[in-house]
Chains A and B, each alone.
Chain A
Amino acid sequence: MAYDIEIILNRQLADCLSIPVFITDTKGNLLFYNEPAEEILGKRFEDTGEMPVEIWSTIFKTKEFDGSDIHPKDLPLVKTLTEQLPFHKTFLMESLLGKSEKISLTSYPIIGRTGKFLGAVAIFWRQKEE
């Protein structure tokens, strides 16, 4: 079964962008991530293909600015998947080299022509080091 056209077109767009983009289904399973996102994830889409939500969600180590853990339900993508609305948050993320990096994440729901919720897109914005 082919993906909905709205998912396919989001991937085509992501493929053209220099910002990291992750595309999930309605459950949060990772359907696609583009090349800039491969750098964040430390994996290549070519190698992993799709990834179940339980696996890819544990790769990121996120923290509030005061060093406390972020509750998963406060992460923008998780909120988008439950509420079908866009969300945005800036937080600290531990990079693959163990360094803390300031990251902003914007997520939005993919709602198709007929109003059907089809999945979500998460865009990572890396903050420039001052």
Chain B
Amino acid sequence: MKITLWGVRGSIPTSGPDTRHYGGNTPCIEVSEDGWTLILDAGSGMQRLNSSIKLENKRVDILLTHLHFDHIQGLGFFKALFNPEMEVHIWGPASTLTSLRSRLGKYFSPPLFPVHFRDLPCKLHLHEVENSTFTIGPFVINSRYVTHLGPTIGFRISDKHAVLSYIPDHEPALGPKGLSKDLKWLSGSDLALNSDLLLHDGQFSSEEYKNKVGWGHCSMEDATAFAALAGVKHLMLFHHDPSHTDQQLDKLFRDINHIKGGKMKLDLAVEGTEINLPKVVK
């Protein structure tokens, strides 16, 4: 499983000299295996993916965790949507009342976007998923609702070699007692269980989180504790706060050094990183 991080920033694209190292693009991850390609979220990182992606089998699958703008804003610029030979599958969370098509259609329509959904020339297939298991080529994918704002799912992606878990927007510590130590009562725990790599929300420092309870995100400390409880082998903190410069991220990361412990590898996600699972190459 080859994984490329095209966008690791949360909330809003934040490019500039202060974010050059960790990157300013919002979530977009490419996962490939045996000529099959999955794209996890369609943030502004999609634009970087556009220039490098090789679509060998005329099919691409986009897995959306939720429809907050930082996770879909790159979608309209994805080149495969405008190629009549391409089969594009979009998988996203089911909601109570509105279909995925009509929710995405709010973005794919004027005045927000000039092209209507129905006018996209590709062969487009939409799939609503909830607590589901589905297969795409060599990948078996589990999706489950997690604690965030609005219908939001996380993904667990397995191939014959490795397991990748992706929970970019997640507040597992919501509640008066913080993070549950009992996995049964811990949102997202079965997605992350014993995975080789977990990309997880680590938007805030624990100090910042005190004033952001209920915003749907996670402190770096809670994310680390969550991953350790779930037996994750390698945690990459993801969805960096747009107000955090490279320098601040480095400092925040140094500050959580004391809780690292155990065998789990821990680092901050860096835009442009390529990972081969199970072997990690930076």
Contacts and interface: CB of A to CB of B under 8 A. Distances in A.
Contact of A113 (B96, B174, B185): B96
Contact of A12 (B145, B146, B175, B184): B175
Interface string A38-69: 00000000000000000000000000000000
Contacts of A8: 147, 185-187
A114 B175 contact: no
B190 A1 contact: yes
B16 interface: no
B243 interface: no
Given A2-B185, A8-B185, A115 B147 contact: no
A114 B183 CA distance: 23
A16 B190 contact: no
A113 B130 contact: yes
Complex A-B, nearest 5 residue pairs according to Cβ-Cβ distance, in ascending order: A12-B175, A5-B145, A2-B189, A2-B190, A114-B130
Interface string B137-167: 0000000111100010000000000000000
B252 interface: no
A24 to B, nearest CB: 15
B94 interface: yes
A114 B94 contact: yes
Given A4-B131, A113-B151, A114-B130, A11 B187 contact: no
A16 B189 CA distance: 22
B95 interface: yes
Nearest to B153: A5
Interface of B: 94-96, 130-131, 144-147, 151, 174-177, 183-190
Nearest to B177: A15
A74 to B, nearest CB: 31
A2 B186 contact: yes
Nearest to A32: B185
B171 to A, nearest CB: 10
A122 B175 CA distance: 19
B147 A9 contact: yes
Contacts of A16: 175-176
B184 A3 contact: yes
A5 B147 contact: yes
B274 to A, nearest CB: 31
Contacts of A112: 145
B165 to A, nearest CB: 13
Nearest to A16: B176
Interface in A1-43: 1-5, 8-9, 11-12, 15-16
B123 to A, nearest CB: 27
B147 A1 contact: no
Nearest to A6: B145
A5 B94 CA distance: 14
A118 to B, nearest CB: 10
A106 B208 CA distance: 38
A112 B96 CA distance: 8
Contacts of A3: 184-185
Given A15-B175, A16-B176, A113-B95, 13 more contacts: A1-B190, A2-B144, A2-B186, A2-B187, A2-B188, A2-B189, A5-B146, A8-B187, A9-B174, A11-B175, A113-B94, A113-B96, A113-B130
A115 B131 contact: no
17 contacts: A1-B184, A2-B188, A3-B185, A4-B131, A5-B145, A5-B146, A5-B147, A8-B186, A9-B147, A11-B185, A12-B174, A15-B177, A16-B175, A112-B145, A113-B95, A113-B96, A115-B96
